[in-house]
Amino acid sequence: MNKTLTLLLSIFLVYSVEAQTPTCVIDSTILQTGALISPLPWTDSTMQYNLNAACIDQPYNQSLTINVPPIFTFESINLPITNLSIATTGAISNLPTGLTYNCDPPNCTFLPGQLGCILLYGTPTSANMAPDTFDLDIWSVLNSIIPIPLRFPISGSHFYLTLKGPGCLVGNKDISNQLIGLKNAPNPFTNETFITAESLVAGDFQFEVFDLLGKRIYLKKIRLEIGHNEFAFDASELSNGAHFYTLSNNDGKAVRQMIVAR
């Protein structure tokens, strides 16, 4: 096996072990609305895409809060609910390639009176067609006197997840036009790299580094001046593999990728 392939396999194996899944965030406001799931799905009356949009080759996460009712009405019969459960794998169909899910609690069994959470996460790959819209289905079982198969969202509503192409920016304006030639060199690198940019504006920026699952692992406030800017980044505490870094101000942010290869 040649040295390049050995290095790439080593990076993959180390990164796979060390990468951490983002935390599933519960939306407690669902207790006031009484909804079964948050965010709410798209319907003909609202027509809102409430799931976060995703970008190819950029880390993604979306939390879904589950609120199981104590009573479920089925064909005019009120049934006491024991729990609602989904399979720990394969229960969510039509996910973009590169995304998966986990649950809180980990067994994906949600009890009445206790808010639960499903986390969609990962990095959409170039195996997907983009732009595209994915219509997600969550297949569950509502357990009572009899088990009742249940699909989220119900008929007539949809969990639409929009996927954009490489280099897109979700949820914030791209300010690459303010930071001409933003890059880091060397790239790949071992422990230290230098971030350079020709800035068209002067001001305070945030420099952040994320792993592929969207977990922020570094944050520093910096000052950029009009013209050439350069600063060093010490990545000795980072694991091998690809990471994303951003420079952001009040106008938006610019995103680039760096690769640690030891």
CATH number of 81's domain: 2.60.40
Single-letter amino acid, residue 232: A
Q: Indicate the SS3 state at residue 180.
A: strand
**Would residue 6 count as lying in a domain?**
no
| Domain identity same for 41 and 157 | yes
- Tell how many helices (H) and how many strands (E) occur in the chain: 2, 21
**Would residue 170 count as lying in a domain?**
no
Rounded to whole angstroms, the Cα distance separating 191 from 240 reads: 10
| Domain identity same for 126 and 50 | yes
**Containing domain of residue 204, as a range?**
179-260
| Domain identity same for 102 and 131 | yes
Q: Which of these three, 141, 164, 187, is where a domain ends?
A: 164
Q: Indicate the SS3 state at residue 44.
A: coil
**Would residue 43 count as lying in a domain?**
yes
**Would residue 174 count as lying in a domain?**
no
Buried b (16+ CB within 10 A) or exposed e, 198-225: ebeeeeebebbbbbbebbeeeeeeeebe
Domain count along the chain? 2
Are 68 and 84 contacting, i.e. CB atoms less than 8 angstroms apart?
Answer: yes
**Would residue 3 count as lying in a domain?**
no
| The two three-digit tokens of residue 117, written as one number | 């959470």
| Domain identity same for 45 and 130 | yes
Cα 144 to chain centroid distance, Å, stands at 33
| Domain identity same for 34 and 151 | yes
E-strand ranges in 132-178 read 132-143, 147-152, 157-164
CATH number of 203's domain: 2.60.40.1930
Task: Return per-residue pLDDT of the chain as tens, 262 residues.
Answer: 455 444 444 444 344 433 457 889 999 889 888 889 999 998 878 777 889 889 888 888 899 999 999 988 777 888 899 999 999 999 999 999 999 999 999 999 999 999 999 999 999 999 998 889 999 999 999 999 889 898 988 878 999 998 988 767 666 677 888 898 899 999 999 999 999 999 999 999 989 898 876 677 898 999 999 999 999 999 999 999 988 898 988 778 888 889 999 8
* CB count in 10 Å sphere of residue 6: 10
Are 121 and 21 contacting, i.e. CB atoms less than 8 angstroms apart?
Answer: yes
The single-letter DSSP state of residue 189 is B
